[in-house]
Amino acid sequence: MVHQPYIWAIVTLLLLLVINLIKDPGYLGISVNGTTGNLSGNPIDILRASAPIMMIAVGMTLVIATRGIDLSVGSVMAVSGAVSMEFMSNQSGGDAGSAIVAALLALAVSAFLGTVNGVLVSIVGLQPFITTLITMLAGRGLAKVITSGQNTSATNEPFRWLANGTVFGFPVVFIIAGVIVAIVAFLVRRTALGLMIESIGINPRAARMAGIRPIGILIAVYIVSAVLAGVAGIFSTASVMTVEVAKTGLNAEMDAILAVVIGGTSLAGGKFSLTGSVIGALLIATLDKTIVFLSIPSSATPAFKAVVIVIICLLQSQRVRALFARRKSRTTPTASVPTRKETVSA
């Protein structure tokens, strides 16, 4: 456990909770809402806020493991929200059928954008950074085209329930995210898919010589990343039943990349940790909640967030830890070695 790279993320997460507890001893308190019967409190809010970040972080983890990057997840969230809200706003009834169709349409469009990314990266050979940067710009424009540049709202209680509902007191959105993460983890850890993804990230040429065809796997990971971003878009828009094409998913790609890095997955590709990315998502959600709770000015919020994340990355750095280990060894007095006297007979 100590050697896991995400151990410092766990330590930081606990430290943030302690800071909040010092300010308010009842910070972690959970109560039952007398009207709705649902659980409420800061821990529930953190779980709810972490669900969209968790989705895009898991998808980003798989892409980064192949030496790629996906900068389009925030725009895909906006497109997903725009498709679902636009569809439901044109429906007369707010029934479950409309909610299911809206969600499926949003995921289908997201998968199409992921396919575009995958094809351009694996077949055309464009750099992942350039490819997804183009998709990021195009996706935001597509969301504006779908909604005619207007913030779009809809009314559909089953759709709203996805983000605001509870099951046994816990947020539905977090339960769905947990199930999806478990399915992805099963596919990449209980089959050869995870090893093939890591082998492409470690050495693409050697992987190809070993019989692994990277084209299909690259397309698949970009589709998975886009679909999970589409799920995150549904979560984000369902909570307020409105898509703001200029704000929905804004800077979400940065949160996803930070969650992956905090979780211990190297940006150089290769070995990855879904558990670390989930912990990174929880840490970012807790950090966002802490910033608001401590009433840190909005102008200083990015700097505060950056300082915390830089400290975590420094603690995870092997070079920094080796430096501290060398300094510790210099300050530790060496144990005296007992000398043994030998008598020499004349």
Q: Read off the pLDDT of residues 55-70 as tens digits, 9 standing for 90 and up.
A: 999 999 999 999 999 9
Express each pLDDT in 309-332 by its tens digit: 777 777 767 777 777 777 777 766
Q: Which two tokens stand for residue 78?
A: 């906006």
Shortest CA distance to 233 belongs to which of 314, 322, 140? 140
Q: Which two tokens stand for residue 320?
A: 């920094």
Express each pLDDT in 141-186 by its tens digit: 999 999 998 889 988 899 999 888 888 878 899 999 999 999 999 9
Contacts of 24 (CB under 8 A, 6+ apart): 293
How high is the pLDDT of residue 101? 94
Q: What percent of the chain has pLDDT over 70?
A: 93
Q: Which two tokens stand for residue 13?
A: 């997460």
Using CA atoms, how far apart are residues 205 and 73, in angstroms rounded to an integer?
28
Query: In the structure, what pLDDT confidence band is assigned to residue 3 with cuts at 50, 70 and 90?
Result: low
Partners of 171 in the β-ladder: 166
Cα distances (Å, whole numbers) of residue 161 to 86, 99, 156, 251, 289: 18, 10, 9, 25, 22
3-state secondary structure of 29: coil
